[in-house]
Amino acid sequence: MKTATHSGSLVFALALASAVAVGVMVPSCGSAARHDGADVGVDVADAADGGDDAAGGGGGAAGASCQAIRLCIAAGQALDVCLARGTDAAQAAFNALLTCLRTQPTPPCSGTDMGCTCREECYADGLCLDETSACVASSGATADGVCVQYCGG
C-alpha cells in the first residue's frame, strides 16, 4: 500500500493559506517598527490584481507600486508580468531590489524563490534590507505585506 507524502513546503503553504483564509495574522519576520501590519489586508488584496489601493488607487494592472510588484510575485505570478504592472518609479525601486537579490547573496536569489527572497528581504541579517525598505517606503505602505504574509513563522 502506498502512502502519500507531503514536502515541508507544501505543508507550510497549506497552513499559511488556512491561516490567511480564517483571518489569522502570521507574525512579522522583521521588527515591529518596520512591519506593523496595519495595511497588510489591503496589500494582500492587491496581490491578486496588481494594484496598490493603500497608495492612492491603481487597483488594476497599470500603475502598481513597488510593494504591489513584490506582492504579485509572492502570490505566484511571473516576475516579468508583475514588473510590467508597475509605474516607472515602482519598476526602478523594484529593479534596485532585484539587483541586490541577484548580486549580494551567495548563491544569488532569482527574485521569485521565496525562501531566498524572504531571507534577504525580511530577516534581520538579510543583505537587501535597505532596498526592501526603500521599496516599501516608495509605495506609501506602513507595513511590509510580503514579510508579514509570506515570510512569517
Domain assignment present for residue 116? The answer is yes
Structural domain tally of the chain?
1
Helix, strand and coil in the chain, % to nearest 5 = 55, 0, 45
Largest distance between two CA atoms of the chain? 56
CB contact at 8 A, 43 and 145: yes
Domain assignment present for residue 125? The answer is yes
Which domain does 120 fall in, by range?
A: 8-150
- pLDDT tens digit string along 1-39? 444 444 343 334 434 343 333 333 333 333 333 333 444
Domain assignment present for residue 135? The answer is yes
- pLDDT tens digit string along 82-133? 999 999 999 999 999 999 999 999 999 999 999 999 999 999 999 999 999 9
Domain assignment present for residue 1? The answer is no
Domain assignment present for residue 2? The answer is no
Domain assignment present for residue 42? The answer is yes
- pLDDT tens digit string along 131-144? 999 999 999 998 99
Mean pLDDT of the region 36-49? 45
Domain assignment present for residue 86? The answer is yes
pTM of the model: 0.63
pLDDT winner (highest mean) among 31-35, 42-46, 60-64, 139-143: 139-143
Residues 54, 46: Cα–Cα separation, whole Å: 9
Pick the closest to residue 63 from 129, 140, 118 (CA basis). Answer: 140
Degrees to nearest 5, angle at CA 45 with 42 and 51: 85
The alpha carbons of the chain give a radius of gyration, in whole angstroms, of 15
